[in-house]
């Protein structure tokens, strides 16, 4: 294949030149080298910071702060009250404030809040800071979904979503918590967890402010010509992670008991694909922002309600909580099937009506419903 070959679904540059496959790969590699590490580490820190409460509980937070009854569960829920309340302002902010600066600013602010958690000695203090953490972390998911749509072609987005929506925090979080537990200082161990996580997050937030561009046109790592190529790449989107027998038998029995827990790890795969479908199947700047924020809203609602199904009186089996999770998984499977059917029927209807891909201008701010040449992926 020669350098003049046009990559699939690409468009011409503004000066009429065609984007070659070689140019496309070169520009994409530069974007991957700068944008992907920044957003992947940001999401890893978000997961790590949210899990910090659980790690802190292992090291005595509940005892030292005198938590009683459902107070620990409420610390999990109150985070998402702040998260939910901030989504409406986010709908405006993510379209008005440069994306890198906004995301980096939120990272820096929630890192500071994590450090403040180390100073808390009561439920009231913990709850207040947890609420603020939710406020500042609310921007993460909408911002990263917009990063996908601004920098990558539709067929490239699922892999990139899988990269930044990683499970590294789950892999390394426990190890880091264990390592921090061996710090012998003047403070309780759980306070060091928040101080260390928070300090790292603040430092990385400053880096994001300085290094993450808002869009290809402002990319410091691309030449003027490469900026045009990067914009041309996404124009075609039409969207504007030797034992004895007895011990061996016990091991197999334990493995069987934990099979459901192991299988839940696969949940991240459809979740990542669902996030990718959102950016691939939504067109129009306003609609993309609205849908991104809507996902974050329902995500927050679920996380507010979810912990309340796990009643302390039902420990350690939590039958109500497990039952609620099973029902939620069943509903998710059904809605996935309905979404497939809806996309299939919409595409077939547009094919029958004679609406061809490319009829509308790629840069027009049309929604996927208004642009009859738009085709849904599924």
pTM, entire model = 0.64
What is the per-residue pLDDT across 317-374, written as a single tens digit (0 to 9) for each?
778 888 888 888 888 888 888 888 988 888 888 888 876 655 444 555 677 777 777 8
CA distance 293 to 350: 28
Average pLDDT over residues 136-159: 86
Domains in the chain, ordered, with CATH?
29-239+267-352 (1.20.1250.20)
* Tokens encoding 243: 């034992």
Say how many Å lie between the first and final Cα of the chain, rounded: 29
pLDDT digits (tens, 9 = 90+) for 284-311: 777 777 777 777 777 777 777 877 787 7
Instruction: Please state, in angstroms and as integers, the Cα–Cα distance from residue 219 to each residue in 35, 38, 227, following that order.
Output: 10, 14, 7
Q: Tell me phi and psi for residue 367, to 5 degrees.
A: -75, 170
Residue 149 has a pLDDT of 84
pLDDT digits 0-9 by tens, 256-265: 566 666 666 5
Q: Is the pLDDT of residue 240 over 80?
A: no
341: left (phi over 0), alpha (psi -120 to 50) or beta: alpha
- What is the average pLDDT across 199-227? 92
Q: Which pLDDT does position 264 carry in this prediction? A: 67
- Checking if the pLDDT of 108 tops 60, the result is yes
CA distance linking residue 310 with residue 57, whole number of Å: 16
Residue pLDDT, tens place only, 65-87: 988 877 888 888 888 888 888 98
Contact status, residue 368 vs residue 376, Cβ threshold 8 Å: yes
DSSP-derived secondary structure for 23-70: HHHHHHHHHHHHHHHHHHHHHHHHHHHHHHHHHHHHTTHHHHTT--TT
**Predicted local distance difference test score (pLDDT) of residue 4:** 39
């Amino acid at each position: 294949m020669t350098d003049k070959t046009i990559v699939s679904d690409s468009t011409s540059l503004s000066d009429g030149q065609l984007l070659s496959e070689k140019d496309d790969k070169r520009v994409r590699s530069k974007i991957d080298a700068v944008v992907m590490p920044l957003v992947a580490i940001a999401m890893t820190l978000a997961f790590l910071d949210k899990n910090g409460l659980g790690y802190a509980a292992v090291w005595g937070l509940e005892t030292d702060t005198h938590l009683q009854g459902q107070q620990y569960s409420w610390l999990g829920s109150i985070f998402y009250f702040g998260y939910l309340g901030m989504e409406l302002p986010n709908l405006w902010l993510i379209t008005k404030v440069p994306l890198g600066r906004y995301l980096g600013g939120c990272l820096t602010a929630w890192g500071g809040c994590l450090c403040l958690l180390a100073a808390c000695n009561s439920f009231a203090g913990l709850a207040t800071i947890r609420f603020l953490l939710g406020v500042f972390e609310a921007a993460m998911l909408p911002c990263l979904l917009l990063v996908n749509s601004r920098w990558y072609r539709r067929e490239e987005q699922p892999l990139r979503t899988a990269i930044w929506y990683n499970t590294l925090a789950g892999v390394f979080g426990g190890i880091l918590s264990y390592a921090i537990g061996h710090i012998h200082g003047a403070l309780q161990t759980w306070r060091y967890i928040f101080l260390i996580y928070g300090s790292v997050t603040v430092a990385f937030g400053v880096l994001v402010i300085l290094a993450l561009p808002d869009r290809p046109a402002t990319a410091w790592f691309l030449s003027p010509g490469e900026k045009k190529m990067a914009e041309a790449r996404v124009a075609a989107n039409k969207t504007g992670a030797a034992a004895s027998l007895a011990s061996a038998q016990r091991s197999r029995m334990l493995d069987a008991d934990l099979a459901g827990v192991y299988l839940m790890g696969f949940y991240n795969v459809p979740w990542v694909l669902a996030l990718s479908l959102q950016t691939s199947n939504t067109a129009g700047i306003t609609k993309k922002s609205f849908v991104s924020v809507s996902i974050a809203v329902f995500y927050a609602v679920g996380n507010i309600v979810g912990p309340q199904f796990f009643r302390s009186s039902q420990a350690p089996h939590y039958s109500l909580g497990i039952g609620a999770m099973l029902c939620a998984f069943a509903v998710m499977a059904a809605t996935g099937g309905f979404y497939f059917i809806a996309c299939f029927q919409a595409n077939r209807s547009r094919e029958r009506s004679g609406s061809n891909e490319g009829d509308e201008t790629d840069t027009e701010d049309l929604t996927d419903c208004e642009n009859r040449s738009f085709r849904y992926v599924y």
